[in-house]
Amino acid sequence: MESKVAVVGAGQSKYGESVDKSVKELFLDAYIELINSVDNGLEPREINAVYIGSLGSGGFQLGNLSALMAEYVGLPGVHAVRIENACSSSGFAFIEACLAIMSGMYDVVIAGGVEKMRDVSSLKAKYWLGVSGDTEYERLAGMTFAGLYAIMANRHMHDYGTTREQLSMVAVKNHKNAFLNPKAQFQNKITLEKAMNSPMVAYPLNLFDCCPTTDGASAVLLCKAEIAKKFTDSPVYVAGFGTGTDYLALHDRETITSLKAAVLAAREAYKKAGIKPKDVDVAEVHDCFTIAEIIAYEDLGFCERGEGGKFIEEGLSSMEGEIPVNLSGGLKAKGHPIGATGTGQVYEIFNQLRKTVQKPARQVKDAEIGLTHNVGGSGGTAAVTVFKV
């Protein structure tokens, strides 16, 4: 499709445990960086609408969250909407913002997300996350998200020979990348031995196979493509996007070694962007668990079905690889503040394509096409977006 939407600014709070900051203050951090990233300046009155992704901010602010975020950053009166699609909330908020601009309704829009997850007990966090899956047949039966992805991992290992070591390689890679990301929750490298020998959570997934709960916010400024140069000389254009849904419960799906929602979303995004998977220069994918990144390689067409384990083992998703994946550290090490994750991925791709990554050692050289892949729950929803410069 012809690029009708451009990204001209982006901001993100530090991810991690922010005991001294409220949900509002986290979003303000992201908003301030967004404003400062707009090269030619931005007047708040130019912003027409705000779309905020959030699962519920720890249960503390379940209603009118978008209006609260808008008012706190000085945008009372704008069209403000909260989008909830589990972990893909702000990925969908971003696409809704694109659609609003493409419809001609608005010229300048903010898409963002926020979550504060570290203020609740582990028991409440498990309940909170569990409502993103099938409540009747999974959560109320005692299933956790680690358990669901463990089932996927076991089946993938059975069908394709994926190994426990390959799962841990994903964790090692993403921690290595997060080490260079000042915004990441875990800025520490780990060895393969440490990753493989950490405490078991749900076989075959251990502690280092699972992403953390996280406080954080992200925000992205979008506008009509034809006015992008008003804000910056180096906009990033939305080349294509796609969304998909599937059954929430694993037992209802055709397969549990692939996320149909992501396959459908990727197919649509590639078609609109006029590219093939091999054309992608850098990607941020939804690695809530290490098996999720391996499945993402396959669902996005970066490799053949069943070859995801070999893709990581051969270094094809590393910084120096064929398609660098999760240079931010991914959900695994950068962190996963549920509602903020989708636009947090856009923040990373925006900076990668503009060559404005904070630490140059994490910068992909000559990247022109980037991709984000944001999944809700265990694959009930998915949003994929392709960006070009």
**What does the block give as tokens for 320?**
């120096």
Please tell me the CATH code under which domain 5-119+214-236 is placed.
3.40.47.10
Q: So where are the chain's domains?
A: 5-119+214-236, 122-212+237-388
pLDDT, residue 134, reads 85
Active-site choice (79, 87, 156, 158) = 87
Sorted by sequence, the CB contacts under 8 Å of residue 335 that are 6+ apart come out as: 15, 16, 184, 185, 186, 211, 212, 214, 216, 329
Give long-range contacts, CB 8 A cutoff, 24+ apart: 69-78: 69/23, 69/24, 69/27, 69/112, 69/114, 72/24, 72/27, 72/28, 73/27, 73/28, 73/31, 74/44, 75/44, 75/47, 75/50, 75/110, 78/47, 78/48, 78/49, 78/50
Question: What's the topology of domain 122-212+237-388?
Answer: Peroxisomal Thiolase; Chain A, domain 1 (3.40.47)
What's the pLDDT score for residue 303? 98
Q: Do domains 5-119+214-236 and 122-212+237-388 have the same CATH topology?
A: yes
336 labelled catalytic: yes
Supply the angle between the helices 145-160 and 290-299 in degrees, to the nearest 10.
60
Catalytic, out of 175, 286, 336, 373: 336
**d(C-alpha 153, C-alpha 260), whole Å:** 16
Is 210 a residue of the active site?
Answer: no
Asked if 343 and 219 touch (Cβ cutoff 8 Å), the reply is yes
Per residue in 216-271, pLDDT (tens digit) is 999 999 999 999 999 999 999 999 999 999 999 999 999 999 999 999 999 999 99
State how far the Cα of 47 lies from the Cα of 24, in Å rounded to an integer: 18
Residue type at 213 in one-letter notation? T
DSSP one-letter code for 190: -
Token pair 């809700």 in the structure block, residue: 376
pTM for the model = 0.96
Q: Report in angstroms the alpha-carbon separations of 178 from 50, 326, 335, 370, 381.
A: 29, 9, 9, 18, 26
Rounded to whole angstroms, how far apart are CA atoms 45 and 297?
Answer: 41
Phi, psi of 61 (to 5 degrees): -140, 85
Q: What is the mean pLDDT of each run of 10 residues along the chain (389 residues)?
A: 89 96 96 97 96 77 86 97 96 98 97 90 66 80 91 98 98 98 97 98 97 96 98 97 97 97 98 98 98 98 98 98 98 97 98 94 95 97 98
Determine if residue 235 is left, alpha or beta; phi over 0 gives left, psi from -120 to 50 gives alpha, anything else beta: beta
